[in-house]
Amino acid sequence: MRLILLGAPGSGKGTQATMLQEKLSIPHISTGDIFRSNIKSGTELGKLAKSYIDKGQLVPDSVTIDIVKDRLLQDDCKNGFILDGFPRTIPQAEYLEDALKNMGIALDVALNIHVEDSEIIKRMSGRRVCPGCGMTYHLIYNPPKENGVCDGCKSGVIQREDDKEETVLSRLKVYHQQTEPLIEFYKAKGKLVTVEGQDKVEDTSKEVLKALGKA
């Protein structure tokens, strides 16, 4: 299955993509994760991406598209993929259409996870990540067993710079301006499926699997 996940930052795309990766045995490709791993290892791409990410802005299309182009050509994408956080703009979506056409394949579904802004703000301000292994937590909904310490690798958990409230507000603004129009883009192509992502993770997962016909 060739799938893209749409939804505001903090709507749970990453969580659902991780679930789907296991269930469908296809790779989960997150442009945000690719940028973060480049930031961690101090590459030129990482430095460039950080200057946008920390302000809550999008990394320029040309840079982002190049990364996805290389990734989709790798062998493990032959049987499908889950794109999480790409496309985020109309030019990125148009590029993806062209690239898949050139590869002789097409997208199956654009899965949109809907969550209200007020819930997003609540979720993101409590989100914590482990810089060691990438595991994510929430201070209220999913705290680590020991306060501030990752259950898995025992590193101290931190708040992502771009999860701080001021940055979350600009990310939401960018989402509504630049990414939300993709909902109409994929609806017009008959590829859009929307699920409610407002409730518990397990409920959203059930809805996602039902929507994809994999329940």
Strands 109-114 and 192-196 turn out to be parallel
User: For residues 54 and 151, which CB has a smaller minimum distance to ligand AMP in the complex?
Assistant: 54
Asked about 88 being catalytic, the answer comes back as yes
Contact in structure between 96 and 5 (CB atoms under 8 Å)? no
Residue least distant from ligand AMP (Cβ): 32
Active-site option among 2, 36, 50, 171: 171
Part in contact with ligand AMP (CB under 6 A); list of ranges 16-24, 51-59, 73-81, 187-195: 51-59
What is the rounded CA–CA span in Å between residue 203 and residue 206?
5
Residues 63-122 that bind ligand AMP (CB under 6 A): 64, 85-86, 88, 92
Q: Is 160 a catalytic residue?
A: yes
Burial 175-196, CB ≥16 within 10 A → b, else e: beebbeebbebbeeeebbbbbe
CA–CA distance, 25 with 205 (Å, rounded to integer): 16
Catalytic site residue from 50, 88, 123, 128: 88
Q: Is 123 a catalytic residue?
A: no
Looking at residues 20 to 49 of the shown chain, list those that interact with ligand AMP (rule: CB under 6 A).
30-32, 35
**One residue of 162, 182, 195, 205 binding ligand AMP per CB under 6 A:** 162
Cβ neighbors of 192 (< 8 A, separation 6 or more) are: 110, 112, 183, 186
Return residues touching ligand AMP (CB under 6 A): 9, 30-32, 35, 52-53, 57-59, 64, 85-86, 88, 92, 162, 171
Active site residues: 13, 88, 127, 160, 171
